[in-house]
């Protein structure tokens, strides 16, 4: 089945930090889709043909769908919990909530709601932490597969320093992860991420076993947390007294590679930054979470200059919005406090192709290149009265993007397509 989606089309083929020739913009453009894949992108007049159904989104912008490289599926009912920093927040709100995912029916109900939230905010792929219970990952993959939506997800491995109801053991963590990998990794658009939660909640034995999984399944991503909060770092180093630094714990257990996504990566030592660059390990910036939990200010330009590839993500429920637009807004402000500037082209590249590059998935998502999945977001820069007024004074595409970045949220998502399917009622 072919369809033509018409609008003002924008995508990126290179990083705006690296070259001026970084994007393609078509004022009256169109995307030709067949069987959920992009066949061609060009001026509308060149692609229109009798017999091909058309959807006209003018005057809205059409971009590749947003990619969220760090989010916690079992925290849909934790988001917006008051008054704590990381370790208190985990113990007071998060672990008790995640314990509920062992209850019959809870994970499937939350999985549908979670994916609806993602697509209503324009996000078409997410890299998700599930709870410790394999049925949470099972439910998320099941729901994503039913929508033909590309998820990268894994059940967290955690065997200490948390309540009984959210703990596994090195052996059960290995067995459950392996069974999920065998069932889901590479099935349709689903991919598995081996997910030791962080060093505080994993014994050395469990990190060994995570390293074993990484060797057995080198094609899987690995996701964890690194150097988010100063108390967390001090506690971590007390649990691993022989470690040279926080990253060294993951390094000694064989987890470092270009498949590794290190959430937060704020308070880093020189050696850690060097090893991340040398091994290709990715840093993931989580601005709304870092402000909400009072964690600290990510050094985007410093890491990039050192050769580290950076993703950007919501980190719901430590993060406070599902919107990648709001994430870019808060990201802009954090970088302001660092004396760094997030240009709107760099911002929209980051939430699309940049995050796809961080995942090594830019051949299938993050751009509108032929052969990619037709995962699209349609953006309305006049969605609210405040945006409409501000847009009256906007003259360039960069200004329009910046208005979306600063004032936009789910109200600006006119439509989201997952593999060519519209996710919102038209």
Q: Which of residues 249-268 bind Zn ion (CB under 5 A)?
A: 263
| Nearer CB in complex with ligand GUN: 281/415 | 281
Size of residue set near Zn ion by CB under 5 A: 2
- CA 110/CA 139 separation, integer angstroms: 9
Closest by Cα among 286, 299, 301, 287 to 333: 287
| Nearer CB in complex with Zn ion: 64/317 | 317
Tokens of 372: 């990619």
Q: Which does 299 bind (CB under 5 to 8 A by kind): Zn ion, ligand GUN, none?
A: none
Q: Alpha carbon 248 to chain centroid distance?
A: 24
Closest by Cα among 124, 120, 9, 12 to 60: 9
CA distances from 153 to 17, 224, 291, 357, 386 (A): 29, 12, 25, 17, 37
198 is a site residue for ligand GUN (CB under 6 A):
yes
Closest distance between Zn ion and the C-beta of residue 315, in Å?
A: 5
69, 94, 125, 265: which one binds ligand GUN (CB under 6 A): 94
Closest distance between ligand GUN and the C-beta of residue 280, in Å?
A: 22
Closest distance between Zn ion and the C-beta of residue 241, in Å?
A: 25
Binding mask 46-85 for ligand GUN (x = CB under 6 A): --------------------------x-------------
| Residue showing the smallest CB distance to ligand GUN in the complex | 318
- CA 130/CA 159 separation, integer angstroms: 15
| Nearer CB in complex with ligand GUN: 30/79 | 79
Closest by Cα among 350, 371, 353 to 362: 353
Closest by Cα among 6, 2, 122 to 424: 122
Q: Which of residues 142-161 bind ligand GUN (CB under 6 A)?
A: none
Q: Which does 155 bind (CB under 5 to 8 A by kind): ligand GUN, Zn ion, none?
A: none
Tokens of 289: 């979470």
185, 197, 349, 390: which one binds ligand GUN (CB under 6 A): 197
Q: Is the peptide bond before 303 cis (omega within 30 degrees of 0)?
A: no
Q: Which residues pair with 72 in a beta bridge?
A: 129
Phi and psi dihedrals of 252, rounded to 5?
A: -65, -25
71, 86, 115, 291: which one binds ligand GUN (CB under 6 A): 86
- CA 405/CA 10 separation, integer angstroms: 15
Buried b (16+ CB within 10 A) or exposed e, 338-362: eebebebbbbbbbbbbbbbbbbebb
Closest distance between ligand GUN and the C-beta of residue 224, in Å?
A: 8
Q: Which stretch binds ligand GUN (CB under 6 A): 32-40, 47-55, 86-94, 162-170?
A: 86-94
Q: Which does 236 bind (CB under 5 to 8 A by kind): ligand GUN, Zn ion, none?
A: none
Closest distance between ligand GUN and the C-beta of residue 285, in Å?
A: 12
| Nearer CB in complex with Zn ion: 313/403 | 313
Strand (E) or helix (H) holding 10 = strand 2-12
| Residue showing the smallest CB distance to Zn ion in the complex | 263
Q: Which of residues 311-330 bind Zn ion (CB under 5 A)?
A: 315
97 is a site residue for ligand GUN (CB under 6 A):
no
Closest distance between Zn ion and the C-beta of residue 70, in Å?
A: 6
| Nearer CB in complex with Zn ion: 223/416 | 223
Q: Is the peptide bond before 317 cis (omega within 30 degrees of 0)?
A: yes
CA distances from 107 to 23, 31, 73, 140, 389 (A): 40, 36, 9, 8, 42
Binding mask 306-325 for ligand GUN (x = CB under 6 A): ---------x--x-------
Residues that bind Zn ion (CB under 5 A): 263, 315
Q: Which residues bind ligand GUN (CB under 6 A)?
A: 72, 86, 90, 94, 197-198, 225, 228, 289, 315, 318
């Amino acid at each position: 089945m072919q369809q033509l989606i018409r609008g003002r089309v924008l995508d990126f083929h290179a990083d705006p930090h690296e070259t001026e020739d970084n994007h393609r913009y078509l004022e009256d453009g169109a995307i030709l889709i067949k069987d959920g894949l992009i066949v061609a992108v060009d001026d509308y007049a060149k692609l229109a043909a009798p017999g091909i159904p058309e959807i006209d989104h003018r005057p809205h912008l059409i971009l590749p769908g947003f990619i969220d490289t760090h989010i916690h599926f079992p925290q849909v009912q934790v988001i917006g919990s008051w008054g704590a920093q990381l370790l208190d927040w985990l113990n007071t709100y998060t672990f008790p909530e995640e314990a509920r995912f062992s209850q019959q029916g809870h994970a499937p109900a939350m999985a549908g709601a979670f994916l609806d939230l993602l697509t209503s905010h324009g996000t078409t792929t997410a890299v998700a932490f599930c709870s410790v219970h394999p049925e949470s990952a099972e439910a998320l993959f099941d729901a994503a597969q039913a929508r033909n939506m590309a998820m990268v997800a894994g059940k967290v491995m955690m065997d200490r320093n948390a309540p009984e109801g959210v703990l596994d053991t090195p052996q059960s963590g290995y067995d459950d992860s392996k069974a999920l990998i065998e069932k889901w990794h590479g099935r349709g658009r689903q991919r598995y991420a081996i997910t030791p939660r962080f060093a505080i909640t994993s014994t050395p034995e469990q990190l060994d076993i995570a390293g074993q999984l990484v060797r057995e399944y080198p094609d899987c991503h690995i996701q964890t947390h690194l150097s988010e909060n100063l108390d967390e770092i001090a506690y971590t180093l007390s649990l691993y007294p022989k470690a040279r630094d926080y990253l060294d714990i993951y390094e000694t257990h064989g987890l470092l590679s270009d498949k590794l996504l290190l959430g937060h990566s704020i308070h880093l030592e020189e050696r850690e930054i060097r090893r991340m660059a040398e091994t290709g390990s990715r840093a993931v910036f989580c601005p709304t979470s870092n402000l909400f939990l009072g964690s600290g200010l990510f050094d985007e330009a410093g890491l990039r200059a050192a050769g580290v590839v950076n993703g950007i993500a919501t980190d719901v429920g430590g993060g406070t919005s599902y919107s990648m637009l709001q994430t870019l807004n808060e990201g802009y402000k954090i970088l302001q406090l660092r004396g760094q500037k997030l240009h709107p082209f760099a911002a929209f590249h980051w939430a699309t192709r940049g995050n796809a590059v961080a995942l090594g998935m830019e051949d299938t998502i993050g751009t509108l290149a032929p052969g990619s999945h037709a995962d699209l977001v349609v953006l309305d820069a006049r969605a609210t009265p405040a945006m409409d007024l501000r847009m009256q004074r906007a003259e360039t595409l960069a200004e329009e993007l910046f208005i979306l970045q600063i004032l936009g949220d789910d109200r600006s998502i006119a439509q989201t397509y997952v593999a060519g399917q519209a996710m919102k009622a038209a």
